[in-house]
Amino acid sequence: MKLISYPQFISDMENYLDHAVNDQETYIMPWGEGKNVVMLSMDEYNELKKKAYQNNQ
């Protein structure tokens, strides 16, 4: 997981998206008032949801 700022993301969006999709990198962006945004690939998201579902069975 890497912490990036919104300006960093905007200035190099394609690179961050490529790393999220191709390298399974996860990014956290502060989004004001103590809130954050997490960016990860759909594959990684689906795997997390699958594990959460299996843990609740």
Those residues whose C-beta lies under 8 Å from the C-beta of residue 21, and which sit 6 or more positions away, are 41
Tokens found for residue 4: 């990036």
Q: Is the pLDDT of residue 14 over 90?
A: yes
Q: Which pLDDT band, with edges at 50, 70 and 90, does 13 fall under?
A: very high
Has domain 2-55 been given CATH number 1.10.3720.10?
no
At residue 57, the pLDDT reads 85
Taking a C-beta distance cutoff of 8 angstroms, is the pair 4, 28 a contact? yes
Q: What is the pTM of this model?
A: 0.83
Domain ranges of the chain: 2-55
Nearest to 41 by CA among 21, 56, 23, 55: 21
User: Each residue of 19-57: pLDDT tens digit?
Assistant: 999 999 999 999 999 999 999 999 999 999 999 999 998
User: What pLDDT sits at residue 34?
Assistant: 92
